[in-house]
Amino acid sequence: MSKMDSTLSYITDQLKALTSIASPTGYTRAATDYLMETLRDMGFGPERSNKGNVLVELGGEGEPLVLASHVDTLGAMVRSIKDNGRLRPTTLGGHQWSTADGENCTVYTRDGKVFTGVVLNTEPSAHVADEPVKTIEKNMEILLDENVDSKDDVLELGIQTGDIIAMDPRTTVTESGYIKSRFLDDKLSASILLGLARAVAAGEVTLSRKVSLLFTVYEEVGHGGAFVPADTREMISVDMGCVGDDLAAPSAWCRFAPRIRVAPTTTTW
Ligand SMILES: [Zn+2]
């Protein structure tokens, strides 16, 4: 296997590892634990700020450059518990509920309990409903994989307003080399930066300037970086390119990883 193929294989493995760790905005500790451990294992000295961002210096001298990606993702939160034992969600970060209708999900409670469920609109059956409802937030609910029929049943499980809801990532790497997954934004970028760190640690890349990596945890709600080292000369945010009629990002290629192809529909969440 060539060095490039081995790096790409490593990046793909890191993507699978990172997407398997639920990390909606505000619930990123486990994801950053993983980053800290992975970077330490490479021999680096990563630091985590009080805010939760992970910063690591890879080496090099002069013209300090920071490469940033975010490991928080879109997700949801329990807005309220309905009398029929279903959860009404609200979004964490901006997204379209239509992309989550029918998706399996996991609820993480304050005291560390984990419950699975499914996101459905309030009229999911065409056999029953006269008319479909719009897949907008007020019409969405979480059905838990638990025998709950009332609000009290749900409260007894330990689920409360404000608990975190994460959608299944559905990460798939096809034989043809396509990656299909939620949360490629921005865990694919974070994986690529880990691939760079590994190449530096292995001596496969020589840095011509000082390079640090910054993994942020509040990008989806708009205050991701909020801090960079005082000597930073340039900072590049490595993130997905939005696809749209009048936008420049190519529909089927991920610009920051020319050999990793990404289907356009998988760049949302
Ligand atoms: Zn992003």
- Residue with the bigger pLDDT between 94 and 102: it is 102
Residue 252 confidence (pLDDT) above 60: no
Looking at residues 80-87, what average pLDDT do you find? 98
Output the CA 264–ligand 1 centroid distance in Å: 15
Q: Calculate how far, in angstroms, residue 232's C-alpha sits from the geometric centre of ligand 1.
A: 21
**Which of the residues 57, 131, 175, 219 is marked catalytic?**
219
Cβ-proximal residues to 89 (8 Å cutoff; 6+ apart), any chain: 76, 77, 78, 79, 119, 137, 140, 141, 142, 165
Whether residue 235 contacts residue 149, with contact meaning beta carbons closer than 8 Å, is answered with: no
| C-alpha of residue 70 to centroid of ligand 1, in Å | 7
Find the 240 Cα to ligand 1 centroid distance in Å.
6
pTM equals: 0.89
pLDDT computed for residue 1 by the predictor? 79
123 catalytic? Reply is no
pLDDT of residue 249: 60
Beta bridge partners of residue 245, listed in sequence order: none
Q: What confidence tens digit (pLDDT) does each residue in 3-43 have?
A: 888 999 999 999 999 999 999 999 999 999 999 999 999 99
Residue 26 vs residue 251, higher pLDDT: 26
In the predicted model, what is the mean pLDDT of residues 151-170?
98
- Band of the pLDDT at 2, cuts 50, 70, 90? confident
- Structural domains of the chain, ranges and CATH numbers in brackets: 3-72+183-267 (3.40.630.10), 75-167 (2.40.30.40)
